[in-house]
């Protein structure tokens, strides 16, 4: 890989990925595209090939891909037409004769049984990339351990955990370690149409999360596996909009149904060390 374009470069995952790239590449070998001029200018000062645009701006995408041999497509948010945005990146890569593309997908067990239909778009993007003729690597990443504070809420040490995830388990992994493994893979392996599942070495339920938080904080944290109807009612009473509540519910139902429980050692192999376990990760995330 001589030159790479990173989409979503200013997000948390993109920033961590570029940090790892810079251990083996120079900034001028890395192209980035951002929606904000001040960020573009800042990145340009740091030596990156920085472009103004987004996933819907095919002219900007093509300009950013000029002279690039590899593209990392970091999945778009779900605020717009995510599938079209992903197709724009793939189509632009083909038009500009980019050799390789990598995509940040999700480690989920069965696309046919998902409650969270937004996750289906990851599989559809994988399909589109596979049909494109580009050489690819797909990273099916586990749910970020970094999302646990969002799931359990700010008052977790006062009120405990209330979620409709049952005893479902998640092979949580830190986002920064997934980014590091992605960079190691892309820098050191040929693109030969492979798929990697980057998960933790163990899967944890929210009973495990509660136990770890109790041990780390010295305050008893209980996990209450509530029913979906009770959870939705509680969230609506707090003023959360219904679509957001439903999105949270869908995540939880998939966890309950085992969609997030797959464990592999592929993250460990690409890191060259064991990924951070739940207790150590929570210690970092909650500053305990």
Could you tell me which residues come within 8 angstroms of residue 276 by beta carbon, excluding any fewer than 6 positions away? 145, 173, 174, 177, 200, 284
Q: Is the pLDDT of residue 255 over 80?
A: yes
Collapse the DSSP code of 32 into the 3-class scheme (helix H, G, I; strand E, B; otherwise coil) and give the result.
strand
pLDDT confidence band for 1 (50 / 70 / 90): low
Q: Is the pLDDT of residue 80 over 80?
A: no
Worst-scoring range by mean pLDDT, 56-70, 186-200, 225-239? Answer: 225-239
Q: Which fold has domain 4-143+174-198+263-273?
A: Rossmann fold (3.40.50)
Q: Which residue has the higher pLDDT, 234 or 16?
A: 16
pLDDT above 90 covers what percent of the chain? 89
- Give me the pLDDT at residue 239, please: 86
Q: Is the pLDDT of residue 79 over 80?
A: no
- Give me the pLDDT at residue 154, please: 87
Q: Is the pLDDT of residue 136 over 70?
A: yes
Length in residues, the chain: 288
CB contact at 8 A, 180 and 16: yes
Distance CA 254, CA 60 (A): 37
- Determine the straight-line distance between the first and last CA of the chain, rounded to whole angstroms: 40
- Give me the pLDDT at residue 244, please: 86
pLDDT in tens, 140-161: 999 999 999 999 988 999 999 9
Q: Is the pLDDT of residue 175 over 80?
A: yes
Q: Which sequence spans correspond to the domains of the chain?
A: 4-143+174-198+263-273
- Give me the pLDDT at residue 234, please: 87
Could you tell me which residues come within 8 angstroms of residue 103 by beta carbon, excluding any fewer than 6 positions away? 72, 73, 75, 86, 125, 126, 129, 136, 137, 138, 139
Summarize the confidence of residues 197-218 as an average pLDDT: 98
Q: Is the pLDDT of residue 210 over 90?
A: yes
Q: What is the mean pLDDT of the chain?
A: 95
pLDDT confidence band for 2 (50 / 70 / 90): confident
Summarize the confidence of residues 191-215 as an average pLDDT: 98
Distance CA 39, CA 47 (A): 13
Summarize the confidence of residues 252-279 as an average pLDDT: 97
Of 117-121, 177-181, 239-243, the range with the highest mean pLDDT is 177-181
pLDDT confidence band for 121 (50 / 70 / 90): very high
- Give me the pLDDT at residue 29, please: 96
């Amino acid at each position: 890989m001589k030159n790479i374009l990173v989409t979503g470069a200013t997000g948390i995952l993109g920033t961590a990925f570029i940090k790892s790239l810079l251990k083996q590449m120079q900034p001028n070998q890395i192209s980035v595209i951002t929606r904000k001029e001040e960020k573009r200018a800042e990145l340009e000062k740091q030596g990156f090939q920085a472009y103004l645009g987004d996933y819907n701006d095919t002219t900007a995408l093509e300009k950013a891909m000029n002279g690039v041999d590899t593209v990392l497509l970091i999945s778009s948010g779900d605020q717009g037409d995510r599938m079209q945005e992903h197709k724009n990146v793939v189509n632009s890569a083909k038009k500009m004769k980019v050799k390789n593309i990598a995509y940040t997908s999700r480690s989920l067990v069965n696309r046919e049984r998902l409650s969270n239909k937004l996750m289906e778009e990851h599989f559809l993007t994988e399909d589109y990339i596979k049909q494109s003729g580009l050489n690819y690597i797909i990273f099916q990443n586990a749910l970020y351990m970094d999302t646990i504070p969002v799931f359990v809420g700010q008052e977790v040490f006062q009120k405990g955990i209330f979620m409709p995830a049952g005893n479902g388990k998640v092979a949580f992994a830190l986002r920064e370690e997934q980014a590091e493994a992605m960079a190691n893979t892309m820098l050191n392996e040929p693109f030969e149409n492979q798929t990697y599942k980057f998960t933790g070495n163990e899967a944890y339920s929210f009973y495990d999360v509660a136990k770890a938080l109790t041990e780390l904080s010295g305050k008893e944290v209980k996990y209450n596996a509530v029913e979906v109807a009770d959870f939705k009612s509680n969230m609506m009473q707090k003023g959360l909009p219904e679509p957001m509540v439903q999105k949270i519910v869908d995540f939880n139902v998939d966890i309950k149904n085992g969609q997030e429980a797959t464990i592999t050692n592929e993250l460990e192999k690409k890191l060259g060390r064991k990924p951070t376990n739940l207790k150590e990760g929570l210690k970092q995330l909650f500053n305990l």
